[in-house]
Amino acid sequence: MNTLSIARLSTRALLRNKLRSFLTMLGVVIGVGAVIAMVAIGEGAKRRVEETFESMGTNLLIVMPGSASSGGMRGGFGSQATLTWGDLAAVRTELKAVRTAAPVMRAGVVVQSEEQTWTTGLIGTSTEYFTIRNWRASSGRMFSEDEVESSAKVVVLGRTVVTNLFGAADPVGQTVRIRAIPFLVVGVLEGKGQSPMGSDYDDTLVTPYTTYSSKIAAGLGKFIAGSMFVSAMSERDTGRAQAELESLLRDRHRLAPGSDDDFSVRNLAEVARAQEQGTQILTTLLAAIATVSLLVGGIGIMNIMLVSVTERTREIGVRIAVGARSWDVLAQFLGEALALSLAGGAVGILFGLFAAAQLARLYHWPFLVHADVIVMSVGFSAAVGVVFGLYPARKASRLDPIEALRFE
Amino acid sequence: MAPLIQLAHVHKLYRMGDEEVPALRDVSLQIEQGEFVAVMGASGSGKSTLMNVIGCLDRPTSGRYLLDGEDVSTLGRNQLARIRSERLGFVFQHFNLLARTSAQENVELPLLYAGVTSAAERSERALRALTRVGLGERAQHQPNQLSGGQQQRVAIARALVNDPKLLLADEPTGALDSRTSMEVMALFQELSAAGITILLVTHEADIGRCAARVLTMRDGAIITDERQTPVRARIPTPLERVA
């Protein structure tokens, strides 16, 4: 018999008992569906974490001034200025693993347009900030080096601020008043959404640090009245960049060996990696649970095939009597098991994709399905068919035709 | 011409736990091409075992069996399957048709295993066999839509579809009433007249009378081997059936 006749024979046999075939398939449908859905959910969650961290900045490290020690009467990070403009210049030029760095000074301000007033956070920084945060203008432009040099009263607005001050109108070219000082709006930042902690990235104003120091908060001379954002060369370099930063700053601050740092470095890439690992473990766990249900589906196939072989003993006897060889019988029953598991797999894939898409929509996850997951599921369901079909099929092919024909 | 079937000192032993039970004892037999032979005997006399051996479903424990000049007593399982597929046709007491499968597909079954890959050829040969048993018009009927006699005729068509050398029938009328039994026997006589060799196992005397040669078995041995003028199978009139 050729493959086509085996396939025909097997499907015929399955169609003769539609309800049973369907119920048997159901186990594999649920198994494969669960695997597909679980992996898709896991991938989606992982992607979502990645996106969140990407929106914070590219390979970002944040250097905060202040002591890492919580002992004594010393305040927490940021409570005292310890980072100097000299430190910033050294970080920019001396460290191999660092691409660039920017000062970040923050103040709460009231900002006014012609009609509206809004309270938000103002950031004073350099042009590198936009590169580090991976942030582009959605209209207008960022402020330039010249404007930093000349302490120009220019400002770039976050999307939330624009909505609250100007509604739908384009604010570029308009003037806003920050602490009653007029600033020219040169650009609007593209929307970034929420931070991992739930605050709104877009509720912000950005102005040159020189302007900030002269107009908003009086400068501290050689100290930066805020923190430093540092971007590593690549994601892999974040660890090295952190080590270099720590050693450079300790050196520059002349800290004796054994004494506490008077700054702290937060490596966001590391936090992101930990989060990703967490979701990866979750994905693996979900897939493992789903695989168990696939296994149960396979056992269901074996169970029904065994019942079927017993029930169809006479049929098998007739087939052998009219000339079926052992191989023909084996192939038929294996074919039936394979057809059940593959059909179940196909329905399961659709079912799983549907479930994953619905969940993704519900939780605003990206809907991610890799082709290899589908290929793997098809392979897995075929394997389930062969593995769990083999025993019943062998049993059928070894029946004694005389006994089989006599079977009641 | 060599006889179609030649059995020489065939023994068959069955193992029942520790005991060996003889089912055939020293059976020697020749059947010529075209003969219509009935094997009779009480249950347990060994007639089914003889039929299984001749039908290549079972192998003799000792002795030789030549089918059409070829020694088949030592062939393996799959070689025997090939012999059955090419040279033998089986008719069973309980028809053994596949349920929920049309008459035509049932008849096509042996062709599938004989390696006839062309669907058109299978269908054509199956229809020819069905026409031969008078059921050409019911090819698409399923077994549960056919009467017992019709089902048995489908089974006979299935046995004929490979143009076998030998037709083996194990109690073919055992599940039929006397009227349809005679219909089936008339069909066998017709096939015999057309030159097909038939070996039929029965325990009913009036079925045996339809054959040209009757073997009687007891305790695994052939005790009589008689040729006779077959009684023409005919459908009894209602009056006769009452009597």
- Contact by Cβ (8 Å): A232, A59: yes
Note whether residue A263 is domain-resident.
Answer: no
The CATH number of the domain holding residue B195 is 3.40.50.300
Note whether residue A77 is domain-resident.
Answer: no
Note whether residue B135 is domain-resident.
Answer: no
How much of chain A is in helix, strand and coil states, percent to nearest 5? 55, 20, 25
Q: How far is B233 from chain A (nearest CA, A)?
A: 28
Note whether residue A235 is domain-resident.
Answer: no
> Which element (helix H / strand E) includes A148?
helix A145-149
Note whether residue A308 is domain-resident.
Answer: yes
Per-residue pLDDT of B116-143, as tens digits, reads: 888 899 999 999 999 999 898 999 999 9
Q: How many angstroms separate the first and last alpha carbons of chain A?
A: 29
The Cα A346–Cα A28 span in angstroms is 9
Note whether residue A351 is domain-resident.
Answer: yes
- With CB atoms and an 8 Å threshold, state whether A325 touches B99: no
Tokens of A75: 């305040």
Note whether residue B208 is domain-resident.
Answer: yes
Q: Which residues of A touch B (CB under 8 A)?
A: 1-2, 5, 9, 12, 16, 314-315, 317-328, 401-402, 405
Tokens of A70: 């919580």
Per-residue pLDDT of B60-115, as tens digits, reads: 999 999 998 899 988 888 999 999 999 999 999 888 998 888 999 999 999 989 98
**What total number of domains does chain B contain?**
1
Per-residue pLDDT of A32-70, as tens digits, reads: 888 888 888 888 888 877 777 777 776 889 998 875 444
Do A321 and A386 lie in a common domain? yes
In this complex, the residue of B58, B94, B98 whose CB is nearest that of residue A402 is B58
What is the predicted pLDDT for the residue at A28?
A: 87
Which residue carries 């109690």 as its tokens?
B171
Q: Residue A219 CB: number of other CB atoms within 10 A?
A: 16
**Domain extent at residue B201:** 5-95+165-242
Q: pLDDT tens digits for chain A (408 residues)?
A: 677 777 887 888 888 888 888 888 888 898 888 888 888 888 888 887 777 777 777 688 999 887 544 444 444 554 577 889 999 999 999 998 999 999 999 999 999 988 889 999 999 999 999 988 888 888 899 999 999 999 999 999 999 999 999 988 889 999 999 988 999 999 999 888 777 667 788 899 999 999 998 888 877 678 888 899 999 888 788 889 999 999 999 989 888 888 888 888 888 777 777 887 888 888 888 888 888 888 888 888 888 888 988 988 999 999 999 999 999 999 999 998 898 889 999 999 999 999 888 888 887 777 877 788 888 888 888 888 888 899 999 999 999 998 888 887
| Predicted-complex ipTM score | 0.90
Which residue carries 């179609």 as its tokens?
B4
Note whether residue B108 is domain-resident.
Answer: no
Q: How high is the mean pLDDT of chain B? A: 90
Task: Please state the rounded mean pLDDT for residues B19-29.
Answer: 90
Task: Please state the rounded mean pLDDT for residues B153-174.
Answer: 93
Distance of CA A50 to the CA centre of its chain: 4
- With CB atoms and an 8 Å threshold, state whether B162 touches A16: no
- With CB atoms and an 8 Å threshold, state whether A323 touches B92: no
**What total number of domains does chain A contain?**
2
Contacting residues of A for B117, CB less than 8 Å apart: 2, 5
Do A219 and A341 lie in a common domain? no
Instruction: Give the pLDDT band (50/70/90) at residue B243.
Output: very low
Q: Per-residue pLDDT for B173 more than 60?
A: yes
Note whether residue A70 is domain-resident.
Answer: no
Note whether residue B130 is domain-resident.
Answer: no
Per-residue pLDDT of A321-380, as tens digits, reads: 999 999 999 999 999 889 888 999 999 999 999 988 888 888 777 787 778 888 888 888
The Cα A53–Cα A59 span in angstroms is 9
What is the predicted pLDDT for the residue at B236?
A: 63
The Cα B12–Cα A172 span in angstroms is 105
- Contact by Cβ (8 Å): A159, A205: no
DSSP B99-148: TTS-HHHHHHHHHHHTT---HHHHHHHHHHHHHHTT-GGGTT--GGGS-H
Do A325 and A383 lie in a common domain? yes
Tokens of A91: 């970080």
**Domain extent at residue A127:** 110-230
- Contact by Cβ (8 Å): A26, A355: no
Note whether residue B133 is domain-resident.
Answer: no
Do A198 and A129 lie in a common domain? yes
How many residues does the structure list for chain B? 243
Note whether residue A287 is domain-resident.
Answer: yes
What is the predicted pLDDT for the residue at B185?
A: 92
Buried b (16+ CB within 10 A) or exposed e, A277-302: eebeeebeebbeebbebbbebbebbb
- With CB atoms and an 8 Å threshold, state whether A318 touches B96: yes
Residue closest to B96 by CA, chosen among A17, A19, A408, A397: A408
The Cα A351–Cα A36 span in angstroms is 9
